[in-house]
Amino acid sequence: IFEAGEVVRGTRNRAFLSGVSIHPRASFTEAKSDVQSVMQALGLQCDVSGIEHGAFIPGRCAQVLCSGTPVGILGEVSPVTLTAFGLGYPAAAFELDLETLLGLRSG
């Protein structure tokens, strides 16, 4: 499932693109591949760097960086988060800041 829309960050709304895949073999690699496809479509080169985030499994989460600028996050959703939302299968997800990405693209 993919969705683009506004997300409240602090005191303002920002445009984000997010995606989630839920099935028995959902993985970090799948989320990373989805993000790489988005970056390719935008003509951007981005890297990932491991981070920790409470919604994701430790060691299976990364920050997305374009030209050193943080533009998003991806990873495998933690079992605690899956249970909290009543999900019965593993999930991999990403969230990308479209405003920042489009700014990098045009800049």
Q: For residue range 6-23, what is the model confidence (pLDDT) as tens digits?
A: 989 889 999 999 999 999
pLDDT tens, position by position, 27-84 = 999 999 999 999 999 999 999 999 999 999 999 999 999 989 999 999 999 999 999 9
Q: How many CB atoms lie within 10 A of CB 21?
A: 20
Distance of alpha carbon 92 from alpha carbon 32, whole angstroms: 9
Residue with tokens 């390719």: 40
pLDDT value of residue 105: 82
Q: What is the pLDDT of residue 1?
A: 86
**102 pLDDT more than 70:** yes
How far apart are the C-alpha atoms of 60 and 1, rounded to whole Å?
Answer: 20
List the structure tokens of 83: 């249970």
Q: What domains are defined for the chain?
A: 2-106 (3.30.930.10)
Q: Hey, how many other C-beta atoms are within 10 angstroms of the C-beta on 16?
A: 19
